[in-house]
Structure formats: structure tokens, C-alpha cells
Amino acid sequence: MCVSISRYISLIVLVIFLLVDKAQFSVPHYGPSNQPEAYLNGSYIRLLTTISLKKQTGISFRTCVGGNLFSQQQKDEMFELIVKKDSILFFAKISGKMFEERMPGNYTNNKWHTVYLQYTVGNLTMTVDDQTKLIANSSYNHEVLTSPGLYNEGAAVLLIGKQFNGCIQEGPSIVFDKNIISFSQNVIFGPCPLTDDSCE
């Protein structure tokens, strides 16, 4: 009797252990890496992880030229963040429909800037340094929050810094951990090589 109960208990413990272990494996969390800063000049970083617009995403950059900070694509559905000469552009394409939101400003001025995308109480917003702009909520651009194609996280491809020229620093959801980088040829990891007169 006693033996069978203790066997039963150890079986339950084993099942719980396996479930917890499986859960931790299927939801990896990566904190800051040991190579948080990268210089890109015509290359890109491909990560094995993806971005969910419903979780916090952050990235910092310093550039004289601009380019694509990240783009995530799954078949015909995609979203991206681009540093232009006069703004930062959030762009999404969902079932052939385009969505665009811009934060105007000169962000190609060789200074560090940080962009956060965050979803708080129903509003998806883009914050650049200390300015915030609405991207979507339940009554505005709602497809950005509801399109299954944008949230098919396992199948999407995330590229960082494609056609971007300058330095990028990792942040929440975009981490340069060696275990999750699947491509980074010609990317230089380390302190940003840009100098005060790099834009001249």
C-alpha cells in the first residue's frame, strides 16, 4: 500500500517536472546578451526569435544614413521599422493593405535614439526617445492587432538592420545572443565605430 502511494507520488512529480521543463523550453526568454552592440553596413542579422507586437520591443540606433531597423515577414504579411531622413516609419502590410505611422524628426544625426513598441491597455504605441505615437487600437488600424499572420510567431522571419548603415543596440525582444543568431556575416559586434565627424 505504502509503496504504491509513494510510486504514485513520484510519478506525479515526474509528470509535473516534465511539463514544467517542456514549458520552459518552448518559451525561451533571453536577457541581455554579451554582444549587445553591432555595426551594420550592407549586411543584416537574422534571429531565430520573433517579435510580437503585443509584447514590448525595443531597439537603439546611431546612424548618419538610416535604413531598416527590423522587418518581420510571414508569407505576405509583414511589419517593419525604418529610419528615414525625416522620420521613423512603422510600416505593415496585411492582406494587401498597407499601414503606415510616422514619427517625424531628424534621427539620422549621429546620436543614439531608442524606439519602443508597446501594447498597453489596448493601445499599440511607438515611443521614440520621449515622444509617443499611436499605431493601433481596437478602433484604429485594428488589423495590426488582430491579423493572425502577424502573430504566427513560429513561422515568421525576423531580420535586423537590413540596408541599415550604422550601429544598433539590442533591447527587449531583440537580443543578439549567439544561440539565436542564424546569420550575421559582415556584422561587427562591439562598441560603435562611428565618431563625432562620421556624418561629414
- The yes or no reply on residue 121 touching ligand NAG (CB under 6 A) is yes
- The yes or no reply on residue 146 touching ligand NAG (CB under 6 A) is no
DSSP designation for 137: B
- Please identify, among the stretches 25-33, 44-52, 76-84, 133-141, the one whose residues bind ligand NAG according to the rule CB under 6 A: 133-141
Q: Answer for the pair 140, 49: CB distance below 8 angstroms, yes or no.
A: no
**Residues 17-76, interacting with ligand NAG (CB under 6 A):** 41-42
Element (H, E) at 7: helix 2-26
Applying CB under 6 A, among 138, 152, 179, 182 the residue interacting with ligand NAG is: 138
C-alpha cell at 6: 509513494
Distance CA(79)–CA(56), nearest Å, equals: 15
Distance CA(88)–CA(190), nearest Å, equals: 25
- The yes or no reply on residue 123 touching ligand NAG (CB under 6 A) is yes
- The yes or no reply on residue 109 touching ligand NAG (CB under 6 A) is yes
- Please identify, among the stretches 19-27, 93-101, 120-128, 174-182, the one whose residues bind ligand NAG according to the rule CB under 6 A: 120-128
Q: Answer for the pair 144, 135: CB distance below 8 angstroms, yes or no.
A: yes
- The yes or no reply on residue 104 touching ligand NAG (CB under 6 A) is no
CA atoms within 13 A on the CB side of 178: 3
If you search the block for the grid coordinates 514590448, which residue do you land on? 56
Task: Provide the minimum distance between the beta carbon of 60 and ligand NAG in the complex, in angstroms, as a whole number.
Answer: 17
Using CB under 6 A, list all residues that contact ligand NAG. Answer: 41-42, 85-86, 106, 108-110, 120-123, 134, 137-140, 199
